[in-house]
């Protein structure tokens, strides 16, 4: 099977946040607020040297959502769209390491959010989220299905960046974070 590997330079056009589950228990006598203040940075994905990254599945899922959103028809295939091709024929297997973003330097955003994490919940709590105002990095995309050409991938990445987003509070989930643009897209291996 022939795989075409693409490299995309992406840049955030809105802040990005993360909401990774950390499972750090409260200390004896620690209040909810104190626990939030102590552990909020653990919601970020970071390398062993503290550089923040975005997991590859965030982009894989964004591309699949973009394919559903676009429902772009495959030329010569009748009503068939690229949706299933993106779901099974595209991989993002490497994290996007954010240029110069260190976990210990990321500012926080305090939000009053539903306690169960579901929109419209009746019970709300203050929660701290990392909020990275300017971000960017290199995204690698492996295309396994040869029907997905450069122009098609580029269109889907554009929609993923503007209409779907990545991370917590992203556009797809009625938020305003995680939007990005593609500054460069090129084939690096085929």
pLDDT tens track for 40-60: 999 999 999 999 999 999 999
Question: Does residue 126 contact residue 31 with C-beta atoms inside 8 Å?
Answer: no
At 114, list the tokens.
Answer: 């539903």
Give the pLDDT confidence score for residue 116 in this predicted structure: 77
The pLDDT of residue 122 = 78
Residues of the chain with pLDDT under 50: none
Rounded to two decimals, the pTM is: 0.93
* Helix 150-159 vs helix 56-70: crossing angle, to nearest 10: 100
What is the model's pLDDT at position 170? 96
Q: What is the pLDDT of residue 1?
A: 76
CA dihedral 53, 58, 60, 61 (to 10 degrees): 180
The predicted pLDDT at position 118 comes to: 77
Find out whether 126 and 111 touch, Cβ atoms under 8 Å. yes
pLDDT of residue 121: 73
């Amino acid at each position: 099977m022939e795989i075409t590997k693409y490299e995309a330079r992406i840049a955030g056009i809105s802040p990005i946040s993360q909401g990774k589950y950390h499972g750090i228990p409260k200390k004896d006598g620690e209040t909810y607020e104190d626990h939030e203040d102590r552990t909020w940075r653990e919601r970020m994905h970071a390398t062993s040297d503290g550089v923040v990254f975005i997991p590859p599945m965030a982009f894989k899922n964004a591309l699949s959502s973009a394919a559903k959103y676009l429902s772009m028809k495959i030329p010569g295939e009748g009503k068939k769209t690229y949706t299933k091709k993106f779901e099974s024929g595209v991989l993002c297997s490497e994290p996007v390491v954010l240029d110069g973003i260190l976990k210990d330097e990321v500012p926080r955003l305090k939000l009053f959010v539903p306690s169960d994490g579901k929109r419209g919940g009746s019970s709300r709590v203050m929660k701290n989220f990392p909020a990275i105002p300017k971000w960017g990095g290199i995204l690698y995309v492996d295309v396994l299905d040869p029907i997905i050409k450069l122009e098609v991938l580029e269109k889907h990445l554009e929609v993923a960046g503007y209409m779907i987003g990545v991370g917590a509070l992203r556009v797809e989930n009625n938020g305003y974070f995680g939007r990005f643009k593609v500054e460069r897209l090129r084939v690096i291996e085929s």
